Amino acid sequence: MRFYTKTHKHYCGIDLHAKKMFVCILDADGTVLLHRNIATSPEIFLKVIAPFREDLVVGVECMFAWYWLADLCNREKINFILGHALYMKAVHGGKVKNDKIDSHKIAGLVRGGMFPMAYVYPPDMRATRDLLRRRIFLVRRRADLLGHVHNTAIQYNLPEINGRISKESNRSGIEELFPDPEVRKIVQLDLAMIDAYDDVIGALEQELETTARRQDWHTLLLLRSIHGIGRILALVMLYEIHDINRFESEEDKGTPLRSCVAVTVGT
pLDDT digits (tens, 9 = 90+) for 107-166: 999 999 999 999 999 999 999 999 999 999 999 999 999 999 999 999 999 988 888 999
Q: For residue 41, what is the DSSP state? A: -
Q: What is the predicted pLDDT for the residue at 160?
A: 86
Task: Categorize the per-residue pLDDT at 267 as very low, low, confident or very high, splitting at 50, 70 and 90.
Answer: very low
Q: What is the predicted pLDDT for the residue at 266?
A: 47
Task: Categorize the per-residue pLDDT at 243 as very low, low, confident or very high, splitting at 50, 70 and 90.
Answer: confident
Q: Which amino acid is at 248?
A: E
- The yes-or-no verdict on residue 29 having pLDDT over 50 is yes
Q: What is the CATH number of domain 3-118?
A: 3.30.420.10
Asked if 66 contacts 82 with a C-beta cutoff of 8 angstroms, the reply is yes
Q: What are the Cα distances from residue 56, in Å, to 11, 21, 26? A: 6, 18, 10
Q: Which tens digits make up the pLDDT trace of 188-242?
A: 999 999 999 999 999 999 999 999 999 999 999 999 999 999 999 999 999 999 8
- The yes-or-no verdict on residue 265 having pLDDT over 50 is no
* Average pLDDT score, the chain: 90
Say if pTM beats, i.e. exceeds, 0.85.
Answer: no
Within 8 A by CB and 6+ apart from 151, the residues are: none
Q: What are the Cα distances from residue 266, in Å, to 130, 137, 139, 259? A: 18, 11, 10, 10
Task: Categorize the per-residue pLDDT at 95 as very low, low, confident or very high, splitting at 50, 70 and 90.
Answer: low
Q: What is the predicted pLDDT for the residue at 234?
A: 95
Instruction: Give the Cβ contact number of residue 140 at 10 Å.
Output: 11
Domain positions in the chain: 3-118, 123-266
Rounded-to-integer distance, Cα 234 and Cα 201, Å: 16
